[in-house]
Amino acid sequence: MATNPMHQFEVYRIGPEIKLGTIDISFTNASLFMVISSLAILLIFNLGSKKNSLLPSKVQLLTELSYIFVSKMISDTAGSKAKPYFAFIFSLFMFVLFCNMFGMIPYAFTVTSHIIVTFILASFIFVGVTIIGFMKHGLGYLKLFVPSGVPAILLPLIIVIEIISYLSRPVSLSVRLFANMMAGHTMMKVFGGFVISLGIVGGWLPLSFSVALTGLEILVAFLQAYVFAILTCIYLNDALNLHH
Amino acid sequence: MGKDSLKTRLEIAKSKISEKDLYKDKKPPSSIGTAFKLSTELVSAVAVGTIIGFILDKTFGTKPWLILIFFFVGVGAGIINVFRSAKNMQK
């Protein structure tokens, strides 16, 4: 069982079974790691923002740098109108980042390697952005589906294509995060299995690969959280500043 | 070294580094990430198109036709997606 590379993605129940009607809402290892990530975020950012000293401590520096990083990202991609949504994007980015990074700890569970988690996150963003778009522009938001300068004969086809392109956003957003995390962790497990099966003679090559992959995975964990947040900003930008 | 001297030194340092310089050393995104982004854009649109076609087929009972049409419409949407994100990357 230990050599099965997909075994690490198994969700199991921790503690008693809780049922809400017919839905199983028991506490699982996935929920445990979501709670751990959220608590870690709360702890770090509380510690970092408690004391406002001129010479920042390491935690305060981390907090301030991440604040600047996200606010810069938002103003670069979505403009100043997106400032009210800073809190949402910041927490989203931090949650995905911490879930990815906690997954890098051996024996930890990677929450974002499950498509249902990333898809729910992406669906919330999609629904929220659509609501914001309709609130800001009313029915004029539907102009997003009608690009300018298209001959009238082609319009029905183009509108259908645009709607499908719009609907594909949450899918591509969630699949990207999920596939990256799952592929990386599976690959690491496979190379780890090679180390065991080749033993002390031939195991050195896969071991060095494993070390390199760990570094790459940490990069991917950060990059995917960044991409997730920046795409949210881009979608928000489409909703706030309507132009095509 | 008092707090004031640190403050003045901070001011001087701040004036030297404008905000632009801080973010100047932006690295281009990795090619794997770019390739992956483009491929998911294409695939997800095709998937969404096919799913819509499948659902419409089931509701209207026009079994093979709408799924075929929406598959190709999805391909078109995917190509448009790829085109757009490639355009965004060149900015």
Q: Which residues pair with A23 in a beta bridge?
A: A20
The answer to the question of residue A1 being in a domain is no
**Best of B41, B75, B83, B88 to mutate (most A CBs within 10 Å, chain A):** B41
Q: Which residue of B has its CA nearest to A147?
A: B80
When CB atoms are compared, the residue of A162, A171, A223 closest to B44 is A171
Contact by Cβ (8 Å): B37, A179: no
Question: Given a cut of 90, is residue A93 above it in pLDDT?
Answer: yes
Residues 6+ apart with CB under 8 A from A30: A11, A109, A111, A114, A117
pLDDT average, residue stretch A98-117:
89
When CB atoms are compared, the residue of A72, A164, A227 closest to B45 is A164
The whole-number pLDDT of residue A40 equals 93
Instruction: Provide the number of structural domains found in chain B.
Output: 1
Of A127-136, A152-161, B2-11, B62-71, the one with minimum mean pLDDT is B2-11
Task: Tell me whether residue B75 is exposed, middle or buried, using C-beta atoms within 10 angstroms of its C-beta: 0 to 12, 13 to 18, 19 or more.
Answer: middle
Range of the domain at A199: 7-240
The whole-number pLDDT of residue A98 equals 93
The one-letter code for the residue type at A121 is L
Q: Which residues of A touch B40 (CB under 8 A)?
A: 172, 175-176, 179
The whole-number pLDDT of residue A78 equals 83
The answer to the question of residue B22 being in a domain is no
Judge: B48–A55 Cβ closer than 8 Å, yes or no: no
What distance in Å separates residue B84's CA from the closest CA in chain A?
Answer: 11
Judge: A167–B88 Cβ closer than 8 Å, yes or no: no
The whole-number pLDDT of residue A76 equals 84
The answer to the question of residue B6 being in a domain is no
Question: Given a cut of 50, is residue A1 above it in pLDDT?
Answer: no
Instruction: Provide the number of structural domains found in chain A.
Output: 1
User: In terms of Cα–Cα distance, which of A136, A5, A10, A121 is closest to A79?
Assistant: A136
The answer to the question of residue A25 being in a domain is yes
Question: Given a cut of 80, is residue B27 above it in pLDDT?
Answer: no
Q: What is the pLDDT of residues A25-75, one digit of tens each?
A: 888 888 899 999 999 999 998 888 887 777 778 888 888 899 999 998 888
Q: Which residues of B touch A162 (CB under 8 A)?
A: 77, 80
The answer to the question of residue A133 being in a domain is yes
The whole-number pLDDT of residue B2 equals 64
Structure tokens at A225: 């959280």
The answer to the question of residue B23 being in a domain is no
The answer to the question of residue A92 being in a domain is yes
What distance in Å separates residue B65's CA from the closest CA in chain A?
Answer: 16
The answer to the question of residue B86 being in a domain is yes
The whole-number pLDDT of residue B29 equals 57
pLDDT band at B3 (very low <50, low <70, confident <90, very high): low
Question: Given a cut of 70, is residue A125 above it in pLDDT?
Answer: yes
Q: Which residue of B has its CA nearest to A244?
A: B84
Question: Given a cut of 60, is residue A222 above it in pLDDT?
Answer: yes
The answer to the question of residue B89 being in a domain is yes
Question: Given a cut of 80, is residue B30 above it in pLDDT?
Answer: no
Of A10-19, A79-88, A227-236, the one with minimum mean pLDDT is A10-19
When CB atoms are compared, the residue of A157, A179, A223 closest to B33 is A223
The answer to the question of residue A221 being in a domain is yes
Q: What is the mean pLDDT of chain B?
A: 79
Of A76-80, A227-231, B75-79, the one with minimum mean pLDDT is A76-80
CA distance B73 to A161: 6
- In this prediction the pTM is 0.82
Mapped to the 3 state alphabet, what secondary structure does chain A carry? CCCCCCHHHCCCECCCCCEECCEECCCEHHHHHHHHHHHHHHHHHHHHHHCCCCCCCHHHHHHHHHHHHHHHHHHHHHCHHHHHHHHHHHHHHHHHHHHHHHHCCCCCCCHHHCHHHHHHHHHHHHHHHHHHHHHHHHHHHHHHHCCCCCCCCCHHHHHHHHHHHHHHHHHHHHHHHHHHHHHHHHHHHHHHHHHHHHHHHHCHHHHHHHHHHHHHHHHHHHHHHHHHHHHHHHHHHHHHCCCC
Range of the domain at B84: 30-91
User: In terms of Cα–Cα distance, which of A107, A110, A87 is closest to A181?
Assistant: A110
When CB atoms are compared, the residue of B40, B74, B88 closest to A164 is B74
Contact by Cβ (8 Å): B90, B65: no
CA distance A89 to A154: 37
Q: What is the mean pLDDT of chain A?
A: 87
Q: What is the pLDDT of residues A223-243, one digit of tens each?
A: 889 989 988 988 888 888 876
